[in-house]
């Protein structure tokens, strides 16, 4: 695996550990702004990444400077009111600009918190430094690296990793804790790839 670290990753992690946690409503049920940390932000980041505006390697769930810039750039590109805050107008525009493709896969889970685990993804993200990242390992011949994937029971994640045992319609989802990875087990899930 190649090693690469984006400087903003350290900033994002620092902001993550000090960020407040807010509710878990569906994206668009409430306005998202800098300082928010929740599942809605994972979805916002994932959809903006799929549209080419969120340039951080993985979704983090924290609405910090990188997410604000992505929202601002999106609003400017779509001739919306530019304020860096994701409200109803921005959500509706994003929804109208994405496409989706569904597929059924066998999903297992892995962690970076184990003996011998490097914690570095195929794409160079250090999951030990960003433990709240949502990442899936994929077969790049089926799901391209960098794709945004919605996994029921997990959320919006980035295809940022590969694995020797991941072949065809299989994914491996990253979990912060070993026990969570074991509890996930192996499931057949209908995922959505956001384009």
Q: Output the CATH code of domain 7-97.
A: 1.10.101.10
CB 131 within 8 A of CB 60: no
- Give the Cα separation of 7 and 103 in Å (integer): 34
Predicted confidence at residue 107, as pLDDT, reads 96
- Give the Cα separation of 29 and 153 in Å (integer): 19
Predicted confidence at residue 87, as pLDDT, reads 94
Q: Output the CATH code of domain 100-194.
A: 2.40.40.10
Predicted confidence at residue 142, as pLDDT, reads 96
| Dihedral pair phi/psi, residue 56, rounded to 5° | -75, 150
Classify residue 91 as left (phi > 0), alpha (psi -120 to 50) or beta.
alpha
Element (DSSP H or E) covering residue 190: strand 187-194
Token pair belonging to 67: 């997410």
Predicted confidence at residue 96, as pLDDT, reads 93
Every domain of the chain with CATH number 2.40.40.10 lies at: 100-194
Predicted confidence at residue 27, as pLDDT, reads 63
Every domain of the chain with CATH number 1.10.101.10 lies at: 7-97
Predicted confidence at residue 2, as pLDDT, reads 37
pLDDT tens for the chain, 195 residues long, are: 333 333 333 333 333 333 333 333 456 678 999 999 988 999 999 999 999 999 999 999 999 999 999 999 999 999 999 999 999 999 999 999 999 999 999 999 998 877 777 888 888 888 888 888 999 999 999 999 999 999 999 999 999 999 888 999 999 999 998 899 999 999 999 999 997
């Amino acid at each position: 695996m190649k090693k690469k670290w984006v400087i903003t990753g350290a900033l994002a992690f620092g902001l993550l550990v000090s960020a407040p946690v807010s509710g878990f409503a569906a994206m668009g049920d409430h306005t998202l702004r800098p300082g928010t940390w929740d599942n809605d932000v994972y979805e916002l980041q994932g959809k903006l990444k799929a549209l080419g505006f969120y340039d951080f390697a993985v979704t983090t769930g924290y609405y910090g400077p990188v997410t604000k810039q992505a929202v601002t750039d999106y609003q400017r590109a779509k001739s919306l009111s530019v304020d860096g805050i994701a409200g109803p107008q921005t959500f509706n525009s994003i929804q109208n600009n994405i496409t989706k493709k569904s597929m059924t896969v066998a999903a297992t889970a892995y962690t970076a918190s184990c003996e011998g685990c490097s914690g570095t993804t195929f794409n160079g993200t250090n999951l030990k430094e960003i433990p709240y990242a949502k990442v899936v390992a994929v077969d790049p011949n089926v799901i391209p690296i960098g794709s945004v994937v919605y996994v029921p029971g997990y959320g919006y994640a980035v295809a940022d990793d590969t694995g020797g045992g991941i072949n065809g319609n299989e994914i491996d989802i990253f979990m912060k804790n070993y026990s969570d990875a074991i509890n996930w087990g192996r499931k057949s899930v209908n995922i959505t790839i956001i384009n």
